[in-house]
Amino acid sequence: MTYSSYLALDDVLAAQHPRSDEHDELLFIVIHQVYELWFKQMLHELSGLQQRLEAGDGPRALHTLGRVLTILKVNVAQVDVLETMTPRQFTSFRGRLDASSGFQSAQFRELEATLGRRDSRVFEHYPEGSSGRVRIAAAMSRPSVFDSFLRYLVTQGYDVPAAALERDLTSPWEPSPDVQRLLLAAYADDGGAAQVAERLVDLDEGLQEWRYRHVKMVERTIGAKPGTGGSSGASYLWSTVTRALFPDLWAIRSEM
């Protein structure tokens, strides 16, 4: 076993295939491949987080959340590297991307579903029976991170409404006044449940920060041009920036 063989570096370093001779295309490919690796790791960490939450293991859940938040910060920092590429440099090879687009990142859609998004429109980019579609659909049918957090609250002695625990997991979460009252009680107790809740708010804010940096990078690179995958580009991305993952945790801020 060597460093190279353990990390499969021959495969990893041979996985970049620029479609032009433009100098900056390699950077574009590497950055997005690294994003996909981090998405893979975040999915792995969130799976572990949900297991720890449902087992009532607050300290380990907090540790895992800290790791996910650190990965998110790395993802935000990678935008700085992409922004070293000027609009003219990107345009020099953009046409070679054809219809490929970040909308087709099945891992990011799976990540969104794990965090609670339930939106069948995402399947437009994934053919029936494709591995990406299967994975996203499976994530949309499992408990989200917030569902696991509610089960964690049960282990901490909080009387979570049965309707919240037994809801249809394939449907979007609807903000609940009853759950919000419960969350306010957890914050008033100022114990482990409140700490986990605050880290979930950090996670929500961290993803919003990544979305903001992403859309600003798109604006400075292609302006108001349509996206390569046929989307409206920056205008669509702006619509996602303030989309809350855990709306109940934000709704109670004005009640504290």
pLDDT tens digit string along 34-80? Answer: 999 999 999 999 999 999 999 999 999 999 999 999 999 999 999 99
> Is 28 annotated in some ligand binding site?
yes
Where do runs of H (alpha helix) occur along the chain?
3-6, 9-13, 25-54, 58-82, 87-94, 106-114, 131-141, 145-155, 162-165, 177-189, 192-222, 234-241, 247-251
> Is 114 annotated in some ligand binding site?
no
> Is 94 annotated in some ligand binding site?
yes
> Is 199 annotated in some ligand binding site?
no
User: pLDDT tens digits for 1-10?
Assistant: 999 999 999 9
pLDDT at 227: 58
Domain positions in the chain:
24-81+101-255
Residue 146 has pLDDT above 60, yes or no: yes
| CA nearest to 120, candidates 104, 136, 131, 101 | 136
Residue 224 has pLDDT above 80, yes or no: no
CATH architecture of 24-81+101-255: Up-down Bundle (1.20)
| CA nearest to 110, candidates 164, 156, 55, 42 | 42
> Is 17 annotated in some ligand binding site?
no
Q: Report the alpha-carbon distance of residue 241 to residue 244 in Å, rounded.
A: 9
Average pLDDT over residues 201-216: 93
